[in-house]
Structures are given as structure tokens and as C-alpha cells.
Amino acid sequence: MVQPISSHWADTTAVRVIAQKGEKDIYTVASGITPSGTVHIGNFREVITVDLVARALRKLGKNVRFIYSWDDFDTFRKVPLNLPKQEMLKEELRRPICRVPDPRGVAKTYAEYNIKMFEKDLPAMGIKPEFLYQNVRYGAGMYADQIRHALEQKDKIIGILNRFRTEPLEQEWLPTAIYCESCDRDEMVYETYKGEWNYAYKCKSCNHEAVTDIRKTKNLKLNWRTDWPMRWFFEKVDFEPGGKDHSSDGGSYATGKLIVKEVWDLDPPVYLQYDFVSIKGGPGKMSSSSGNVVDLGQVLEIYSPEMVRWIFARQKTNTDFSIAFDEDVIKQHDEFDRFEEGVYKTLSNPSPKDMNNLRTYELSLPNGEITPAKPFRPGFRVLCNRLQICGGSPERALERYYQAEVKTPADKESFLARAGRARSWLEKYAEDDFKYALNATKRADYPVPDGMQAAVDALKKLVAQTDLVTIDAKDLNQSIYDQAIHMYGLDSKEFFTVVYQLLINRDQGPRLPGFLKEIGREKILDLL
């Protein structure tokens, strides 16, 4: 029996796939979604789950086909609230989303816009599936035989679905849906399978009535409960995960695994449930239909691809978790840096305990290759402060603070990538009390309160006489108290407020001793 490379869930799942499906020339792993709205970071959990299992299978020497199905032939049921041209889109309801115009005017269709927005971000993540567009496949008649087979087996399908229903389906129910050839909508007065390749319907929206050929129509599809197991059979899928909504008793996986076995005589794929992803500080579960979403592109503005992969790879799939966009972004970067540091410390001689961290790290890298030297990662909090001192310029921050540490082109690339993301976070998501801008010149408009000027002068003298580069922040802090605050009997909070006003035009700011060290003597003396 094949043994897993590590205890990581991707490796143990890969071994389970091989054990249940046997030795094969190629293993097919699958993912997919309906592009009915923005494909958000919660949806991304499915594709990264499949990618990690695909990598684990390849690590065991197996050939893998990774397919990603765009269910763009599904019905446009609800207008997301974040879209323009709401009234126009309401007129498009009940049509296939692949035929709804893009309200932004960017893509040919509404579905295509959502698809391309997601597809453009995947290569940076090292994820390169084979994309299948279901409107194309249905329209080309690829599934005609399977649609006919499902219609001929509809009593068996009804029986399976009724096992999980409190109210049984009517005998006239069909496992299909059709769009009207006249108005493109899917609500019908009746639908009837007349045998062989003949399918009849009457449209409720426009009263169009027709008999169509299953082999030739571009408007007929299987409904979701039957479509999913049909595609397992058609593509010979060996592994596919699903969310909580598909995984409950009576959910689409529970019915699908029975349908694929009893209707198509194929064992269902190995299955893995994944739970929800939320945004810390956000409203909870994301919903494409409400427009309340964060997509992969937005996450990549703040986190590097390896960090995004690591955030998902280190979580067990059956746990909910959140991705921080608030101040915990700093904590998340610190955790990743410590994790990476720990991996490199044990890289040459990992213990069995270290192997799982090593494997998690390997799975986190877009190209899957651990470099001999640890990438340069400037600390995120300090980097944010230094960027603000440098007016948000990564290049100026590099020149002023990091020249000694950035030794190679790879170091520079790594620095600029993180600095760019730190700047994005500061500009778009950081709380106001974390953000500041160093005053360009001394404030002529700010009168130093009575009794404070002597202490400010004492601070200037201290800065002028101190080597800010070498002094420890704790020692500098003590000197500020001894030579300025206590010397003149001042309230420390009131004194700090004056200094911050002179430096950044705010009542509060970063911890003053470290901040003074970062600003440097010349600029401090200018501003004080």
C-alpha cells in the first residue's frame, strides 16, 4: 500500500484516492463553480484544495488531470447588489448567464467577466487547471447521450431524490431544464420527454411551444442534482471536494453519489468537505448574490501568493477560518515569517515533527520548489512605518533602511513585492490611527502649549547628542523621560501629543523611541 509523504491532509487524501480508485494511468481531480457573481476568496478554497491534492498525487509519481468546470450555462436567478445597470439586469433574469450582457461593458457577457477576473489571478498562485466551459460543452451536444440516458432513467433518479425529501417529486418531473428557443428563459408551462431524441416544452414567458432534438439543441441541460454525477461519469472524476452546503445529509453530494452509482454504474469520486472562509472585520459568510465579497485579486494586493497558499494549506479543510484585512494583517505576516524561519532552520536535518511543517511550506510555494536560501522578508510592521516615513515609496525605503540587507536581485524583488503590498494595505485597509504622514516642514501653524517649549528643546538637545542608530529604544525612552518629561514635571501623554503634532500632525503615533530612531536625527531636528 502507498504511504503518505507526510501527515498533511493533502498527502493523506492523495493516498486515499489511490487506495479507493486503484492504480490508474491518470487520476482526474475536479473543481468548479457557477460564475453567477464575483468568484470570491471563499470559492477559492475549493480550487486550492484540489490543487493541493493534485500536487500530492504528483509527488507520489502519479499523472494527474486537473479540470475546472465553469457552470456558465446555469440560470441568472438574482442580480448582485454591487453591479451597475440593475434595471437592465433584472430584465435578464431566468436567462443563461453566458447570454447575459456584461453591465460593465468590459466583457462579451456577464459570465465571461466573472470568469476572466478569476482566471487572471490563478497563474500567480501556481494553479493551472484545464478549464471546461459548460455552455460550450452542452451547446456542442457533448452530453446528448447522457441527457437521453438520464431521461430514460428518470424514475430511478426520482426514487433516489425522494429518499431525502419530505414531499415526493411529481411523476412528471424531469432531470432537465430547457431555455426557450424564442426568449431564452427557463420557466415553462410544461416539459415532456417524448422518447428517443425528442423533447417538448411550452414557455411560460412568451408561450413559445416546440419539440426539439436533444442532439441539436443548444438550450437543454441537466439540472444540478443530475448534472454533477453525470459529469463525474463523463470525465471519470476520481476526486472532488465540496462545501458545507453540498455535504449535508440530503445535499447534492449525498444524492449525487447514489445517482452516479445507480444510474451510470460508476463509483463516486473521493470526497472532502471544506468549510467557509470569512474576512476578519467583515460581515461573515461572503455572498456573490449580495455583492458582499472579497476576491482573490484583492487578497493578493495584501498577501503574497505563497502566503495565500500557506493560509489555506495549514488549515484542515473541515474548519472555518478568516483572512485578516484589519491590523491582524501584521500578525499574519509575522506568523508566516516565523514559520518560514523555522522551516529553514530545520531544512538540512528535519525531524519527523518538522516534516509536516516542511511539507506545508512546500505546498505553499507556487512553483513547489524550496530555494536553498531563505527569501528576504522585511518585518511588516516596521516596513509599514518606514514606508510612511518615506512618503509611501518602496524605493526610498529600500535606499534608506534596507541597503545592507538586500544583497541580491532576488532579495530586491522580494522586498519590493512585500513593500508594494504593505503600501496597498496602508492605503486601502489600515485603520486611520495606524496611518500617518511625516510633516514635510516645521509646523508654523502649531503653537507649542505653555510650559512645553523647554521640554521640546530638551528633546532636540537629546536627539542632537545621541547616536540614534546604535542606541537601544528602551534606553532612548528612559532618556526622554529623564531629560524632558520628568525634568520639567510634565504629564507624559500631553508631552507626547505635542511631539506627535510637530512630527506627524496627529495626537498619537508609533511608539516614540523607535519612531525617532526610524526618522533620523536630521529630520527630527528640522521638525522640532
Share of the chain above pLDDT 70, in %: 98
What secondary structure does DSSP assign to 316-365, as a single string? -TTS-EEEE-STHHHHHHHHHHHHHHHHHHSTTS--HHHHHHHHHHHHHS
Q: Match 494586493 to its residue by C-alpha cell.
A: 301
Residue 209 pairs in a beta bridge with 202
C-alpha cell at 440: 514635510
Mean pLDDT over residues 135-145, rounded?
A: 98
Mean pLDDT over residues 61-70, rounded?
A: 98
pLDDT classification of 289: cutoffs 50, 70, 90: low
pLDDT of residue 284 exceeding 80: no
pLDDT classification of 352: cutoffs 50, 70, 90: confident
Q: Let me know: does 284 contact 278? Beta carbons within 8 Å.
A: yes
Best CATH choice for the domain 453-527 from the list 1.10.10.350, 3.30.365.10, 3.40.47.10, 3.10.20.740 = 1.10.10.350
CA distance 338 to 380: 12
pLDDT in tens, 445-493: 999 998 999 999 999 999 999 999 999 999 999 999 999 999 999 999 9
pLDDT of residue 283 exceeding 60: no
pLDDT in tens, 166-184: 999 999 999 999 999 999 9
pLDDT classification of 249: cutoffs 50, 70, 90: confident
Q: Let me know: does 394 contact 384? Beta carbons within 8 Å.
A: no
Strands 130-133 and 64-70, bridge-based pairing: parallel
CA distance 263 to 149: 8
Buried b (16+ CB within 10 A) or exposed e, 77-111: eebbeebeeeeebeebebbbbbbbebbeeeeebbb
pLDDT of residue 515 exceeding 80: yes
Residue 251 pairs in a beta bridge with none
CA distance 398 to 382: 12
**30: Cα separation from own chain's centroid:** 18
Q: What angle separates helix 328-345 from helix 380-389, to the nearest 10 degrees?
A: 120
pLDDT classification of 282: cutoffs 50, 70, 90: low
CA distance 236 to 21: 11
Mean pLDDT over residues 340-348, rounded?
A: 95
Cα-trace Rg, the chain: 30
Mean pLDDT over residues 314-327, rounded?
A: 94
Strands 220-222 and 176-178, bridge-based pairing: antiparallel
Burial class (CB in 10 A: 0-12, 13-18, 19+), 120: exposed
pLDDT in tens, 189-242: 999 999 999 999 999 999 999 999 999 999 999 999 999 999 999 999 999 999
Mean pLDDT over residues 345-354, rounded?
A: 89
CA distance 436 to 434: 7
pLDDT in tens, 417-440: 999 999 999 999 999 889 999 999
CA distance 175 to 162: 13
CA distance 460 to 525: 6
Q: Is the dihedral of CA 388, 390, 396, 400 positive or negative?
A: negative
Task: Give φ, ψ of 103 to 5 degrees.
Answer: -65, -20
Residue with the larger pLDDT of the pair 245 and 526: 526
How many angstroms separate the most distant Cα atoms in the chain? Answer: 98
Q: Let me know: does 10 contact 53? Beta carbons within 8 Å.
A: yes
Q: What is the pTM of this model?
A: 0.92
Residue 156, pLDDT score: 98
C-alpha cell at 376: 528576504
Domain residue spans in the chain? 380-434, 453-527
Residue 351, pLDDT score: 87
Burial class (CB in 10 A: 0-12, 13-18, 19+), 299: buried
- DSSP E strands, 164-252: 176-178, 188-193, 198-203, 209-213, 220-222, 242-243
Residue 388, pLDDT score: 96
CA distance 178 to 176: 7
Residue 320, pLDDT score: 94
pLDDT classification of 244: cutoffs 50, 70, 90: confident
Q: C-alpha distances in angstroms, 461 versus 433, 444, 455, 498, 517? A: 29, 20, 10, 16, 15
pLDDT classification of 285: cutoffs 50, 70, 90: low
CA-wise closest residue to 528 among 467, 438, 466: 438
Q: What is the mean pLDDT of the chain?
A: 95
Residue 79, pLDDT score: 94
